[in-house]
Amino acid sequence: MTSYLYPLERKLIIVTVISDLVTDSRVHRICQSLHDEGFRVMLVGRSNKNSLPLKARDYQTDRLKMWFGSSFFFYAEFNIRLFFRLFREKPDIFLGNDLDVMPATLLVSLLKKKPLVYDSHEYFLGMAGMDRKPIRRSFWKFVEARVFSNLKYTYTVSDSIRNLYRKNYNKRLFVVRNLPLKNPHNPDLTREETEWVGSIDRKIPDNKNLLILQGAGINESRGAEELVYSMIFLDAAEFHLLIIGGGDVFEKLEKIIEQNQLSDKITLIPKVPFAVLEHFTRKAQLGFSIDKPSVLNHKFSLPNKLFEYLHAGVPVLASKLIEQERIINQYDVGAFIEDHHPEHIAGKIKEIFGDPELLKRWKQNTCLVREELNWENESKIVLDIFKQVEKESVNY
């Protein structure tokens, strides 16, 4: 943990998230915006043996070391550690990111009588697999009900999720989309990041159409397995797929690639820092956002990767999720699959690259997305929320 010196009159916001911070671009952008606005910011997350090193940031960061990597024990351990970490601090405002940090964050905010803002990154109760775990779902539903009954200021990532929460709890929510910066601050790559780029570059063949699927949560129902199988139907001399990120199905993808002898068509890369990911996104000709609408969380989502592709000038092939379909149609920046059959996905890819003028038009249209849908505009919503909370906290 780095020590930061701030003027004492600046309000301290403690931000909690269960990620290891390295690849969580939404939380980083929010923390940076709050810091730039004049708040003191402490971001608390986790780390484990597989976590990447964390570069120094303008605000304070702290990662709790974890023994468990998943399951009930992981959530229990994290919230116990988080509770004692938060209880030692003297914040003015808390910001909790997603439901899995809220048992500790809400409890400490109530004990300390400090205001708490909630950022719901997704519809937690509608995540894949939650319907098969009724006890787990009941517990998180109880937590969610306590959150919404105690909080005034909450925001989420899409209109659809906002409307769902409004229907369930009759609460006003704001929408803060996962938009990249229009003008990102791009410091030079560190030595380690440069080595990463060089190592990955050597695995990606030149003179081919580079396809990319990225994301820190490439899990069940994200369409990754079908995308990998689709490469069977594409010419290795013409196309190469880069999958970069992390998630529950990564080991399964490795097996599919090996069993179908697709290593000459696909490069699979684990999580990398922001700067490295951005480097390879910009090199791609087509990005994929093909989550299945099989659960509410996916059906109503507006994925980070959609905007990260478009800001990098990369058109998209997407599934018809309500929110991303609206963006893609409005700006004319891509096409849709009708189903997740691998041969159909491959056919759509061939169709797109068979029309260079269409691909060129989509790429040009991404410039308008970057101009209109960016964090410089979206961050004003977050800052207005916290300015209002700051005013009200005097009488909290």
Ordered by start, the domain boundaries in the chain are 12-179+375-395, 191-372
Judge if 12-179+375-395 and 191-372 fold alike in CATH terms.
yes
pLDDT for res 216: 81
> In the CATH scheme, what is the homologous superfamily, with its name and number, of domain 12-179+375-395?
Glycogen Phosphorylase B; (3.40.50.2000)
Beta bridge partners of 92: none
pLDDT for res 1: 44
* Contact indicator for 385, 174 with CB cutoff of 8 Å: yes
Count of other CB atoms within 10 angstroms of residue 87: 12
The span from the CA of 292 to the CA of 290, in Å, is 6
Count of other CB atoms within 10 angstroms of residue 79: 19
> Chain-centre distance of CA 215, in angstroms?
7
Contacts for 62-67: CB closer than 8 Å, 24+ residues apart: 62/1, 63/1, 63/20, 63/21
The span from the CA of 175 to the CA of 177, in Å, is 6
pLDDT for res 9: 66
Report residues of the chain scoring pLDDT below 50. 1-3, 5-8
Please count the CA atoms within 13 angstroms of the CA of 110 that sit on its side-chain side: 11
The span from the CA of 190 to the CA of 275, in Å, is 9
Taking the CA atoms of residue 137, residue 139, residue 143 and residue 148 in that order, the dihedral angle to the nearest 10 degrees is 50
CATH class of 191-372: alpha beta
The span from the CA of 203 to the CA of 269, in Å, is 10
pLDDT for res 193: 86
Amino acid identity of residue 96, one-letter, is: G
